[in-house]
Amino acid sequence: MRHGKVKASLSPGTTPGPASGRRILVVGGGYVGMYTALHLQRRLKPELGRGEVEIVVVTPDPYMTYQPFLPEAAAGSISPRHVVVPLRRVLHQCRVVIGEASAINHAKRTATLDTLSTEEEGTGAVTISYDQLVLAPGSVSRTLPVPGLADHGIGFKTVEEAIGLRNHVIEQMDIASSTRDPAVRDAALTFVFVGGGYAGVEALGELEDMARYAARYYHNIRPEDMKWILVEATDRILPEVGAEMGEYAVRELRRRNIDVRLHTRLESCENRVAVLDDGARFPTRTVVWTAGVKPHPVLAASDLPLDKRGRLTCTTRLSVDGVTHAWSAGDAAAVPDATAEEPGTLCAPNAQHAVRQAKVLAENIVATLRDTPLKEYAHSYAGSVASLGLHKGVAHVYGRKLKGYPAWFMHRVYHLSRVPTFNRKARVLAEWTLSGLFKREIVSLGSLEHPRAEFELAAGGHGGHPPRNPNGSS
């Protein structure tokens, strides 16, 4: 299992459903998982009160991550704990289990779970039975067999990766500032991002902006000493905002001296040298891989139907095609786009669909339990907003195109309205207001990732500070 701090409350063996009622098992605590459970607990209040229904949410982390805020968390504009929503607080009527589903046997209505306690105690996995299944484990980074990538690359999907990358970038500036070796300095100040979608462009835009600002506090680093490179295999970036705004984003990034390379692929990054298929070679200690996503591998460990890309084949009612009592939405699901003119078009994997699908999905489960008609999911894509750094952005929403400050402002307003819970909205707004009044935070707290290092050295009889990893942290 990835990580986590909360003990699970399931014991090994098969855990039966509630004595007199039905169990809804929600696999995943992201957009779809959290919003589906939230809608279910609101709509099934009477049934939950009478113990007729139980909602169990299984997820590896005790929080939902608001991924569109990860680039701002990496830039230090938002604290990491404010881009996540604590599931136990929001889903107080549900049973939240910290663990991962490793297999689904829908024919038998059972899921196999690895939880923190089964892992720690060395007991076997838990098998849990259910009556209704919501399978929403989202997606994972779509990697290619690029030599060196597994050893040196980092993704940008989790809050840990975003904060790790922030610390890493600042640490590279510290290394560059203190070394006398020009080759080490050059590699430390070279940052390669692969993939020009939301995640790659926003992460690069925000981090470059932060590093450019931080450079003023280094006596021997100027912004022009840094190389920021965006590698994109197709002829455009940010397809979500349309061709015109995508071209603007390329121009804006290049104006900032960012080396945007279209029609280019990363061939290898062995020995800390990024080699591109246009022949360029960049010694670097930073390769960020954001070249798309693929469905979570747990889907293949189920007996449910998958499409050729490995997503669950779903209907417009968000039920899994051809079976009963199984539902899905979001990045893990291939849902027909009922608003598209071209038959066979599927909903794109994004938060805009995931949140709306979760609502319809929950309503349809309630309708199934109460024996009322099901709804169809239909939402035409409203467009998108993307940040390119502080006060810079690009947007294409409801046919309106915006760029620069207005787009950035719209990006903030939109995401503030979307981030779950009033509590989070207030905290994020407070942080933005404070960061407008004071200077940016440029401190690296990379040592937070190794909290015992200092004590281990002291206990081992050595003095002084622990040596830093000379190769950087990623």
Ligand X SMILES: Cc1cc2nc3c(=O)[nH]c(=O)nc-3n(C[C@H](O)[C@H](O)[C@H](O)COP(=O)(O)OP(=O)(O)OC[C@H]3O[C@@H](n4cnc5c(N)ncnc54)[C@H](O)[C@@H]3O)c2cc1C
Q: Return residues touching ligand X (CB under 6 A).
A: 27-33, 58-61, 67-68, 70, 100-101, 136-138, 156-157, 198-199, 296, 298, 330-332, 349-352, 354
Percent helix, strand and coil across the chain, each rounded to 5? 40, 25, 40
The torsion of the CA quartet 427, 431, 432, 436, rounded to 10 degrees, works out to 150
Nearer to ligand X, 60 or 188 (CB): 60
Smallest distance, ligand X to C-beta of residue 224, A: 28
Nearer to ligand X, 139 or 215 (CB): 139
H or E element at residue 46: helix 45-49
Only one residue has tokens 């990363």, namely 266
Residue 30 near residue 68 (C-beta atoms within 8 A): no
Smallest distance, ligand X to C-beta of residue 318, A: 12
Smallest distance, ligand X to C-beta of residue 96, A: 11
Distance from C-alpha of 65 to C-alpha of 419, rounded to nearest angstrom: 10
Smallest distance, ligand X to C-beta of residue 28, A: 3
Q: 280: burial class by Cβ within 10 Å (0-12, 13-18, 19+)?
A: middle
Nearer to ligand X, 47 or 240 (CB): 240
Nearer to ligand X, 67 or 176 (CB): 67
Q: What is the largest CA-CA distance in the chain?
A: 73
Nearer to ligand X, 40 or 188 (CB): 40
Smallest distance, ligand X to C-beta of residue 216, A: 27
Nearer to ligand X, 352 or 435 (CB): 352
Nearer to ligand X, 138 or 148 (CB): 138
Smallest distance, ligand X to C-beta of residue 189, A: 24
Q: 169: burial class by Cβ within 10 Å (0-12, 13-18, 19+)?
A: buried
* Alpha carbon distances (Å) from 402 to 42, 388, 409, 412: 37, 13, 10, 13
Smallest distance, ligand X to C-beta of residue 324, A: 22
Rama region for 266: left / alpha / beta (φ>0; ψ in -120 to 50; rest): beta
Distance from C-alpha of 425 to C-alpha of 256, rounded to nearest angstrom: 31
Nearer to ligand X, 160 or 441 (CB): 160
Nearer to ligand X, 187 or 287 (CB): 287
Q: Helix, strand or coil for residue 104?
A: strand
Smallest distance, ligand X to C-beta of residue 314, A: 12
Distance from C-alpha of 113 to C-alpha of 133, rounded to nearest angstrom: 14
Distance from C-alpha of 82 to C-alpha of 34, rounded to nearest angstrom: 16
Q: 161: burial class by Cβ within 10 Å (0-12, 13-18, 19+)?
A: buried
Distance from C-alpha of 245 to C-alpha of 238, rounded to nearest angstrom: 8
Smallest distance, ligand X to C-beta of residue 307, A: 15
- List Cβ neighbours of 307 (8 Å cut-off, separation of 6 or more): 313, 334
Residue nearest to ligand X (CB): 30
Nearer to ligand X, 330 or 336 (CB): 330
Smallest distance, ligand X to C-beta of residue 364, A: 17
**Strand 126-129 relative to strand 400-403: parallel, antiparallel, unpaired?**
unpaired
Rama region for 51: left / alpha / beta (φ>0; ψ in -120 to 50; rest): left
